Amino acid sequence: MASKWLDIYLTMKPEVSKIFDDLEAYHDWCRWELQPFDEADLYRKNSPIYSAYLNSKKTRRQNNNNNNRGGKKREQNLSH
């Protein structure tokens, strides 16, 4: 009877699991980029290191779309 209650009590909720997964990914990025790791910076967008981590996760296409907000998009000249 106690084991069933413990199984329910000790299961990881999806929200908590996401936090630990995000923390592990942020820690790995800090190790590879030789940046100081502070777990308190997780989800703190005004932290320069966490902001750099978020920018590194963006794809190149997302970065180009953000840079060309008001201007023309680059066009390729395919004529020779």
Helix (H, G, I), strand (E, B) or coil at 12: coil
Q: How confident is the model at residue 4 (pLDDT cuts 50, 70, 90)?
A: confident
Q: What is the pLDDT of residues 6-36, one digit of tens each?
A: 677 667 778 888 999 999 999 999 999 999 9
Q: What are phi and psi of 46, to 5 degrees?
A: -85, 0
Please state whether the predicted TM-score (pTM) of the whole model is above 0.75.
no
Q: What is the pLDDT of residues 42-72, one digit of tens each?
A: 999 899 999 999 999 887 775 566 665 555 5
Are 24 and 8 a contacting pair, CB within 8 Å? no
